[in-house]
Amino acid sequence: MSTLQTNGTLLEVEDLRVAFAAGGREVRAVDGVSYKVDAGSTLAIIGESGSGKTVGCRAIMGLLPAGTAISGSARLRGTELIGLSDAALRKHRGSDMAMVFQDPARSLNPTMRVGAQITEAIRTHRKVSKSEAHAQAVELLRLVRIPAADRRFYEYPHQLSGGMRQRVVIAMALACRPKLLIADEATTALDVTTQAQIMELLLELQQELDMALIFISHDLGLAASYADEVVVMYAGKIVEQAPAKRLFGAGGTVKMRYTRALLDAIPHLERPAHTELPVVSGRPPDPTMLPPGCSFAPRCPSAADDCRTTAPGLIEHAQSHRWACWHPCENGGAA
C-alpha cells in the first residue's frame, strides 16, 4: 500500500474529536485536532496534564475504552483508522504503528522473562518458528543497545534498571518494524542522563528504520532539542503549530502566549538563583465547563474582551506556522 503514497505523508489526522461522558457531562478531551506526520520525521505534542495530548494518540491507536465518542479522521498510509473494528486495528497496531508509555515497569509483565515477552510480541504478528523468534528477539535487544543481549534475554524486568526496562519496551514496540512510533512521556520517569540516552537511541533507530516518531511530552526543552515539528495543545485544542526551528532558539517566533508561558516557566541554567519565575496564575479550565471564548483567556496576561467572547481559530498566519490567538506575541514575546 505504500506505493500509493507519493507525497511522503505517513499519518494524516483531520478534525479528530474525542468525547467522554463524565458524571452526566460531556468532556471534550480532544476537540478538532489536525496534523500531518511525514515519513521519517519527528513530531512533538506538548501540553500540560489533561490537555488531550495522550487521549488523541490513544484514539489513533484504538486504545480508548468502548463508549468513547471518537470522530474525525486519522489515515495511516491512506488507511482510515477511526471506526475500524478491533480485529482490523490489531493488525495495524504493532506492525504499522506502536506506542511506548511512560512507566516501563507497567508495560512489562513482572512474571515473564523479558526475552519471552519480546518473542511473544513477534509471534503475535508474524508466523515464525520459536527459534526464529528467539533469534529476532536477541537481535532486537542488540538493536536497542542492550549490552550482553544473550544474557539479558533470560532476565526478569525487576533485574533491569529503569533505563534498561524502557529499552526492552522499545524493543517490543519495534518487533515488527513499525513505520510510526508514538512515545508517550517515554523519558519522563528517567534520570536526565538516561533520558538523553533514550532520546538519542530513539533518533538513531528512527534513522536506521526510517520510522516516524511522535513524542508526547510536557517538556518544551525536549521538543526544542529533538523535534522537527511542534504541536502545542491546551484544553483539547491545538493552540500553536510550527517547525521547531521557527519556534525556538535565537530569533524564535513564538506567537501564542501559552507557549511563551510554558517556555518561560522552565528553570534555565542562565537564570540567577532566587529570581522570581514568570508565571501565569490559575490552572487549566475544567473540561466540562470550558469558557465561551479562548480557553486560555482566564489565565492570559493579554486577554481582551474579544478573547472572552469568541474563540480564535487555528489559522496559518505565516509559512507553516499556525496559531490560535487574537493578540499574538510580538517578536516572539521574549521578556
Partner 1 sequence: MTQAPEGRPPWDAGGSEQKKPLLSVRDLVQEFVVRQAGGTRGGVVQAVSGVSFDIMPGETLGIVGETGSGKSTLARAVLQAPRPKSGSVRFREMELTRLSGSALIAARRHMQFVWQDPFGSLDPKWQVRSIVEEPLAAHRAGDRNTRRKRVDELLDLVGLDPARYAKRHPRELSGGQAQRVAIARAVALEPSLLICDEAVSSLDVLIQAQVLNLFERLRRELGLSYLFIAHDLALVKQVSDRVGVMYLGKFCEVGPGELVYKQPLHPYTKALLDSIPSTEPGAARATATLTGEPPSPISPPSGCRFRTRCPRAQDVCASEVPQPRELGPGHLVACHFPLSQPAPAGTGPAVVPQATTQATAKAQG
Give, as ranges, the residues between 157 and 196 that touch partner 1 (CB under 8 A): 161-164, 191-196
- Supply angle C-alpha 312, 214, 127, rounded to 5: 140
**String of DSSP letters for 158-193:** GGS-HHHHHHHHHHHHTTT--SEEEEESTTTTS-HH
* Under rule CB under 8 A, residue 271 binds partner 1: yes
Number of residues near partner 1 (by CB under 8 A): 53
Task: Give the nearer residue to partner 1 in terms of CB position, either 70 or 238.
Answer: 238
Cβ(45)–Cβ(11) below 8 Å:
no
Cβ-count burial of 129 within 10 angstroms (0-12 exposed, 13-18 middle, 19+ buried)?
exposed
* Under rule CB under 8 A, residue 319 binds partner 1: no
Chain centre to alpha carbon of residue 212:
11
Among all chains, which residue has been given the C-alpha cell 526492552?
168
Task: Give the nearer residue to partner 1 in terms of CB position, either 32 or 40.
Answer: 40
* Under rule CB under 8 A, residue 269 binds partner 1: yes
Considering only 49, 111, 131, 319, the residue that binds partner 1 (CB under 8 A) is 49
Among all chains, which residue has been given the C-alpha cell 504541536?
231
Task: Give the nearer residue to partner 1 in terms of CB position, either 43 or 220.
Answer: 220
Name the strands in the sheet holding 69-76, side by side, starting at the edge strand that comes first in the sequence. Answer: 25-38, 9-22, 69-76, 79-80
Task: Give the nearer residue to partner 1 in terms of CB position, either 318 or 334.
Answer: 334
Stretch that binds partner 1, among 70-78, 107-115, 176-184, 216-224 (CB under 8 A): 216-224
Task: Give the nearer residue to partner 1 in terms of CB position, either 275 or 331.
Answer: 275
* Under rule CB under 8 A, residue 106 binds partner 1: no
Ranges assigned E (strand) in 166-302: 180-184, 212-217, 229-234, 237-243
Considering only 21, 22, 266, 318, the residue that binds partner 1 (CB under 8 A) is 266
Considering only 203, 209, 290, 329, the residue that binds partner 1 (CB under 8 A) is 203
Task: Give the nearer residue to partner 1 in terms of CB position, either 112 or 196.
Answer: 196
Among all chains, which residue has been given the C-alpha cell 500509493?
4
Own/partner long-range contacts of 88-95 (Cβ < 8 Å, ≥24 apart): 89/61, 89/62, 93/61, 93/62, 94/121, 94/124, 94/125, 94/173, 94/175, 94/176, 94/178, 95/125, 95/176, 95/178
* Under rule CB under 8 A, residue 142 binds partner 1: no
Give, as ranges, the residues between 277 and 306 that touch partner 1 (CB under 8 A): 277-281, 283
* Under rule CB under 8 A, residue 22 binds partner 1: no
* Under rule CB under 8 A, residue 123 binds partner 1: no
Q: How far is the CB of 122 from partner 1 (least distance, A)?
A: 25
Q: How far is the CB of 108 from partner 1 (least distance, A)?
A: 18
- How far apart CA 255 and CA 240 sit, in angstroms, is 8
| CA nearest neighbour of 296 among 318, 322, 326 | 326
Considering only 68, 71, 73, 197, the residue that binds partner 1 (CB under 8 A) is 197
* Under rule CB under 8 A, residue 251 binds partner 1: no
The footprint of partner 1 (CB under 8 A) covers 48-49, 161-164, 191-197, 199-200, 203-204, 206-207, 218-222, 224-226, 244-245, 248-250, 261-269, 271-281, 283
